[in-house]
Chain A
Amino acid sequence: MTDAERCCILLTRNVFGVKMQDDPRDTARRIAALAGVPLAEERIAALAPMLAVAQGAAAALAAVDYRDADPEAPFPPRPKATP
């Protein structure tokens, strides 16, 4: 993984982890702005309750033991060679 990728992951984990505990509207506004999606207040109001969807997916995936799984492993697996 490159330094830029590590930095991006650390930054978003930090924003996500800390700000989730605060006002959901503020959290949604800040994270969306970080992603380059500035939103008007009425859109933020509609989006804030959906934080739970992102939180749920993040929590489910954070709980997995990935061992040494490589996100860029060749995909899909090739068929077994015929003897």
Chain B
Amino acid sequence: MTTADTADLSISEAADLVRKRKLSPIELTEACLERIAALDARVRAFITVTREDALASAQQAAAAIARGNYKGPLHGIPIALKDLFDTAGVRTTAGSKILGERVPAEDAEATARLKAAGAIVIGKLNMHEFAFGATGLNRHYGGTHNPWGLDRMSGGSSSGSGAAVAAGMTLGALGTDTGGSIRIPSSLCGVTGLKPTYGRVSRRGVVPLSWSLDHVGPLARTAADAALILKAIAGRDDGDRTSSEEPVPDYAKTLVDSRLKRLRIGVPDSFFFDNVDAECLEAIRAALFLLRDMKAEVDEVSLPHAAEASSAVVAIMLPEALAYHHRWLAERPDDYGEDVRGRLELAALFPAVTYVEAKRLRTLISEEWRTSVFERFDLLAVPTTPVAAPPLDDDGLQTTLTLTRFTGAFNLTGLPAISIPCGFTSGGLPIGLQLVGRWWEEATVLRVAHAYQQATDWHRRTPPL
């Protein structure tokens, strides 16, 4: 196997080789580091590459496995973190100048859980400044380029996470998702990204954007890989009062059942299919036909208040972001990128009554969808984004609003949602399908995504870098 082949393995494939001692964690880590060295000047997926720490961890993993102390499928697997996950002793910038020299003393809970599972942290990934935007452009560290077209944006805010996985610089990544920030770069970069149920993964040690909407989740090449990462990071953490005590299933085991018979998939009859690019629409429809061919029952569904959900996301996200940034905005306004500064100033214009109404809408939608939608359907299927990757310089508020149009509702409701590749435009840019499950039923979302990926090869394609 060449170095290039090694870097393109999925986690499941690599883990199998590592477990059988046919592939060393050192070899695997070096392959990713070589890929980073070769490509990242063009892609800008990383803010910090922790080369020495990663190689030291890989050596420790190799030694432990040689002694027979194999921890499981993430042992010896290189994983990279969006640069808002605290890493003890390693700079954590949140993509900002304001936190540009910050070195946390402790790991974030998700970081610690990955390390405990044996994963090798190979670096900190580029992102939209403070996660406050969906384009992934960043004044301080440079915008992340899409591996499928370097003149295109990767999407954000977990821009480096999507681009690094797509380019084979890492086998998996962690991201955060407040209005679509895991699923959007996954869609635009042609990888698999899961936003779990609100509260499924601890956010302790993660720089916040909006406490009511922030979620932590994995980006990887396949749904099976996302399942492995989620299993490692999910579960109650007493340090995050929003984290849940719901039991965490062994997601990988639930993937075995690929039968979709009697699975009911709802396709919204409005809003989520309005103003969608024709090529994206064609790919989504083809994916729905395939799921029907796989014996799923696909039918139209009406989603009450779906359109208002986007307004509610904005009305919650902006004031909460301003509350977090209030002091810095007063004392260091010039240290923000113009886009983020403008959004924080815009946040000041939102009335308190609108914030409370947005919270009421979350309660209203959650109850209505629980009864009128999820008693009839197991999943929803919608486009992840209405367009493929926009040009890199298309960085206005309107672009962020367009990219988040179909993702924000699931941050408001906290429902688990995955984006998986389902086609390409004629220009060679990836298109994403979003599958949304009931609260706490990530296993169903992952199972259907995995079944779809067993029947297609969109997720196996690699960008022409």
Contact = CB atoms under 8 A, between A and B. Distances in A.
A64 B352 contact: no
Interface string A65-83: 0110111110111110000
Given A75-B366, A76-B366, A64 B351 contact: no
Contact of A79 (B305, B322, B350, B440): B440
Contacts of A64: 305, 308, 357, 360-361, 364
Interface residues of B, number: 47
A16 B351 contact: yes
B197 A58 contact: no
A47 to B, nearest CB: 5
A69 B314 CA distance: 19
B350 A54 contact: yes
The DSSP consensus for interface residues of chain A is helix
B290 to A, nearest CB: 29
A43 B348 CA distance: 13
A75 B363 contact: yes
Nearest to A46: B342
Interface of B: 197-199, 246, 305, 307-308, 311-312, 314-315, 322, 326, 329-330, 342, 344-354, 356-364, 366-367, 370, 397, 413-415, 438-441
29 contacts: A31-B349, A32-B348, A32-B349, A36-B326, A37-B322, A37-B344, A37-B348, A38-B330, A46-B342, A47-B346, A54-B349, A54-B351, A57-B312, A57-B350, A58-B354, A64-B305, A64-B357, A66-B360, A66-B361, A67-B364, A69-B363, A70-B360, A71-B356, A71-B360, A75-B363, A75-B366, A76-B198, A76-B414, A77-B439
Closest 10 CB pairs of A and B: A71-B359, A35-B348, A12-B351, A76-B414, A37-B348, A54-B349, A60-B311, A61-B357, A57-B311, A69-B364
